[in-house]
Amino acid sequence: MELPRRALLRAAAGSVAALAARPRHARADDYPTRPVHIAVGFPPGTSSDITARLLGQWLSERLGQQFIVENRPGAGTNIAAESVAHAASDGYALLWVTQSNAINQTLYKSLNFDFSHDIRPVAGVIRVPAVMIVTPSLPAQTVPEFIAYAKANPGKINMASPGIGSANHIFGELFKMMTGTDLVHVPYRAAWFNDLFSGQTQVTFNPMPASLGFIKAGRVRALGVTSAQRQAVLPDVPTIAEAVPGYEATAWFGIGVPKDTPAGIVDTLNRTINACLADAANKTRLNELGGQEFPGSPSQFADFINAEIAKWARVVQFAGVNPE
């Protein structure tokens, strides 16, 4: 995804000129009057970073203030979430909400914030399938071949992820749970793709926007997509569910704010985000990244998050995942 990432960074940096800060406590009907910061719990170049910068650019253009992405990786996205949970409830600190936040609700037993209580859902942005990708040296060419190879070599296949509780990790745990395979999870604190390229790790379940470039360049092999349907950007790649009936795991991204943020600001953000997602050019750009727009009301997004918390709690508990 190197070339798209560079283009996005240039677009996000140049789309709106810096504007002078206004008084800190603006009325909801004046919002925003100064730059807004979006805390993203992942490093630059990841699917979250790529799509958050796109949304930031669109919001900047529509609302006349800069929406600035701040990458705050670490602790399974909890550093970013905590920073927003404890921020002022004035609409100037936004959280890039992902399935990791829903997973962490069960995964982490002791945090300095409560995601369900302290973060108010604003709007979904995009739903993104992941891709089961393997190092080219692995002999398996299909999901059934991979399952057979894994069962013949228990504990010998390393499954890479950017951290415990990440989408890559939990999507892989769901695969292990449903196939009875023994894959060794290898969490990384920094860049991990080079080990996949070289064969030190053999498989990962990576969100599509950050995978397409590597797949098209032949640096990894795509075995299956995690969505229920095949994806137009990878038409020849089957779904995992074609070999493992019922398997489905989709990454998703959205916006949240501190719990006491005024309803007027939440409504402004929700309305503007939905307008961005309805724009034909924006929809096309999201589809090119392998995702699909995810509009809706704040209450609909909240209901969706609650359902995701329940779904992934079962996987976390089955796998006995421990963040320590």
Instruction: Note whether 182 and 225 are within 8 A (CB).
Output: no
User: Of 242, 270, 295, which residue constitutes the final position of a domain?
Assistant: 242
* Extended strands (E) in 156-241: 157-161, 183-187, 203-207, 221-225
Same structural domain, 272 and 173: no
Same structural domain, 236 and 269: no
* 3-state secondary structure at position 56: helix
Name the least confident of 19-23, 169-173, 277-281, 302-306: 19-23
Give me the phi and psi of 99, to 5 degrees please. -60, -20
Q: Is the pLDDT of residue 5 over 50?
A: no
pLDDT (tens digit per residue) in 251-307: 899 999 999 999 999 999 999 999 999 999 999 998 888 888 999 999 999 999 999
Q: Is the pLDDT of residue 11 over 60?
A: no
295 found inside a domain: yes
pLDDT (tens digit per residue) in 83-116: 999 999 999 999 999 999 999 999 988 899 999 9
- Higher per-residue pLDDT: 239 or 166: 239
195 found inside a domain: yes
Same structural domain, 268 and 172: no
User: Of 242, 261, 279, which residue constitutes the final position of a domain?
Assistant: 242
324 found inside a domain: no
Determine the pLDDT at residue 162. Answer: 84
pLDDT (tens digit per residue) in 48-77: 899 999 999 999 999 999 999 999 998 889
pLDDT (tens digit per residue) in 181-232: 999 999 987 778 899 999 999 999 998 888 999 999 999 999 999 999 999 8
User: Of 198, 224, 242, which residue constitutes the final position of a domain?
Assistant: 242
Tokens of 252: 């998703």
Q: Is the pLDDT of residue 12 over 60?
A: no
Do β-strands 93-98 and 36-40 pair in parallel, antiparallel, or remain unpaired?
parallel
285 found inside a domain: yes
Q: Return the CATH number at 195.
A: 3.40.190.10
Q: Is the pLDDT of residue 308 over 90?
A: yes
Determine the pLDDT at residue 28. Answer: 64
183 found inside a domain: yes
**Whole-prediction pTM value?**
0.79
Same structural domain, 35 and 65: yes
Q: Is the pLDDT of residue 3 over 80?
A: no
Selection from 75, 248, 236, 86 nearest residue 165 by Cα: 75
Instruction: Note whether 133 and 196 are within 8 A (CB).
Output: yes
Instruction: Note whether 80 and 150 are within 8 A (CB).
Output: no
Name the least confident of 5-9, 101-105, 134-138: 5-9
Tokens of 239: 């779904």
Determine the pLDDT at residue 324. Answer: 59
Q: Is the pLDDT of residue 7 over 70?
A: no
